Amino acid sequence: MFQTHDHVVHPRHGVGTITGMRTIDLDGKQRRYYCIALMKNDSVVMVPADHLEDSGLRPARMDEPLIREIMATEPEALNENNRVRETETKKLLDGASPRTVLGLLRDLEWHGHQHKLTAADRRVHHRAAEMIANELALHTNTDVSIAQQTLARIIAETISTAASEPSAAAD
């Protein structure tokens, strides 16, 4: 499914690049693994080739048009109960698709625009923004700081545009 040099996202370990395949003999049984050089901490994670679907490994596909598309859609209200919201938002990040992470970031941005974000909200927001920026940087072959600036700019543009619209202001 994946080739050497493909950019991928692992749901627990983050973004990285496939560096190759490795065969390991465990108890007389040979298993093939994808070796992934992780962007965040210069480590390598190995994912069994025969358990790709279970691992949640997926191609890195984050780009500016996708970010703009999702950020421009109507936000969904987050639960008003802080503890329930924290549980729900953390759960959304685990193994989430790019659209889900972007939607969560959009919803947290709007929630923060209307209410003060809790410390837990800020942690989830930070993690979602980091995931998006890292994937954007890898997919577009740019520096993470540039991807972070791009994401911040798109969020600011989207929030200011939507906040000036009558329907968004009424919510």
Q: Read off the DSSP letter of residue 75.
A: P
Q: What is the pLDDT of residues 61-75, one digit of tens each?
A: 899 999 999 999 999
The percent of residues in the chain predicted with pLDDT above 90, rounded, is 69
Domains of the chain: 7-59 (2.40.10.170), 64-170 (1.20.58.1290)
The terminus-to-terminus CA distance of the chain in angstroms comes to 44
How far is 32 from 39, CA to CA, in rounded Å?
A: 22
The model carries a pTM of 0.82
CB 128 within 8 A of CB 90: no
Helix or strand (DSSP H, E) at 26: strand 14-26
CB 117 within 8 A of CB 111: yes
Return the minimum-mean-pLDDT range out of 25-34, 98-107, 121-130, 162-171: 162-171
